[in-house]
A and B are shown apart, each in its own frame.
Chain A
Amino acid sequence: AAGVIQSPRHLIKEKRETATLKCYPIPRHDTVYWYQQGPGQDPQFLISFYEKMQSDKGSIPDRFSAQQFSDYHSELNMSSLELGDSALYFCASSSATPSGNTEAFFGQGTRLTVV
């Protein structure tokens, strides 16, 4: 079965550069979530989208922005990168139903290293 696809899998950027992470949800999933997991840390919720609209917002820095496109894929844009942004970035997707969302599946993550 198709899973959540994230690209790139690994990314190395310098301080103050920008980065764009992409997430392709499971087909027919309309909800996308972004999480950040620092080294040795638990994942932290950043932001989520449902039907191309922002659904909920967590601890996403102002330097980051995200959107969901008409084909339901999502992009996380990160500007003025800092060393502390080095982390594993997960995307997850689920499908909204009248009784709530289906279970969410995570992608394999994008490992961002800022040098």
Chain B
Amino acid sequence: AQKITQTQPGMFVQEKEAVTLDCTYDTSDQSYGLFWYKQPSSGEMIFLIYQGSYDEQNATEGRYSLNFQKARKSANLVISASQLGDSAMYFCAMSSDQTGANNLFFGTGTRLTVIP
């Protein structure tokens, strides 16, 4: 069975600073994908970044980077230079499908608030 754990229900960060959102996972699969999604108060689910279990390099997408530590089964999201628009709920998710969105298991989310 797959499990995603996000231990930070809420986080605060000062505008323009960096913040790390924690995510640990558990799976017996050798091949899997890890995802981060952003859900603003308007409700839509926005894909941020993806890391495949066989990728050796940490994924980066603009101000987002994924700190992938396979041995520790962690996939933390780092947001650099936080902006007010980053305030949202952030979900870590996992799939044995590598990519796509098949049977994604989501964590309980972290609500990030960016302070001016």
Contacts and interface: CB of A to CB of B under 8 A. Distances in A.
A96 B97 CA distance: 11
A88 interface: yes
21 contacts: A33-B100, A33-B101, A35-B45, A35-B104, A42-B109, A43-B91, A43-B104, A45-B105, A56-B103, A92-B45, A94-B99, A94-B101, A101-B97, A101-B98, A101-B100, A103-B99, A104-B47, A105-B47, A106-B45, A106-B47, A108-B43
> Mostly helix, strand, loop or mixed at chain A's interface?
strand
B98 A109 contact: no
B102 interface: yes
B43 A111 contact: yes
Contacts of A45: 102-105
A52 to B, nearest CB: 16
> Mostly helix, strand, loop or mixed at chain B's interface?
loop
Interface string A79-115: 0000000001010101010001111111111010000
A100 B100 contact: yes
B74 interface: no
Contacts, number: 73
Interface of B: 37, 42-47, 50, 91, 97-109
Contact of B45 (A43, A58, A94, A96): A43
A33 B50 contact: no
A65 interface: no
Contacts of B100: 31, 33, 94, 96, 100-104
A18 interface: no
A20 interface: no
Given A94-B99, A101-B97, A108 B104 contact: no
